[in-house]
A and B are shown apart, each in its own frame.
Chain A
Amino acid sequence: GAVVSQHPSRVICKSGTSVKIECRSLDFQATTMFWYRQFPKQSLMLMATSNEGSKATYEQGVEKDKFLINHASLTLSTLTVTSAHPEDSSFYICSAGQVTQYFGPGTRLTVL
């Protein structure tokens, strides 16, 4: 199957700082990638759709100015959590694919 990577796998930061998470499709090109957030013992919730060469599409209730998404190439999408606060602590997962979605290993963000 296709491989999607994420970096970093874990990040701890202070409140007020910004954190960038990278999502890469390693063996295929992806014009669209998806970003999800998962709180402990809950399901995955879609945050936004990342579109190569154009603006991301955000789900209702997700602040676009707080969660900046850039999809500058066919293999890379980045999610930047700006001015992070403790309530942003979560597990962030990206996916890519066409008929079948493949998921990255996730990034665990802890904001102190």
Chain B
Amino acid sequence: GIQVEQSPPDLILQEGANSTLRCNFSDSVNNLQWFHQNPWGQLINLFYIPSGTKQNGRLSATTVATERYSLLYISSSQTTDSGVYFCAVTANFGNEKLTFGTGTRLTIIP
């Protein structure tokens, strides 16, 4: 099956800093989503981005499908950005099963 690797696994930053999280996948995808899992376990949808670039406030994401990677940018980090960030993909058209990446644990220090 498709492999999804995220880097870095852990990231500790000062409040106000910017960060870039990376998601590499081993095969072609027709769906890619970024999620933020908060400390209570809830997965929050950030982006649906199988290709191209999107922005939502301080967050933006870019997926280069031909090169099999996606990037999540977080600017001016806040303590509420702490948590685990996952990317997840579906590899086959019409198959909605998501394969999750390994995750990046982000800690923002005040």
Residues of A within 8 A of B (CB): 1, 32, 34, 36, 38, 43-46, 49, 91, 93, 95, 97-103, 105-106, 108
Contact = CB atoms under 8 A, between A and B. Distances in A.
A7 to B, nearest CB: 14
Interface stretch (B14-22, B67-75, B92-100): B92-100
**What does DSSP make chain A's interface, helix, strand, loop or mixed?**
strand
Interface size bracket, B side: 10 to 19
B99 A46 contact: yes
Contacts of A98: 96
Given A93-B43, A106-B41, A43 B98 contact: no
A100 B43 contact: no
A100 to B, nearest CB: 5
Contacts of B42: 103, 105-106
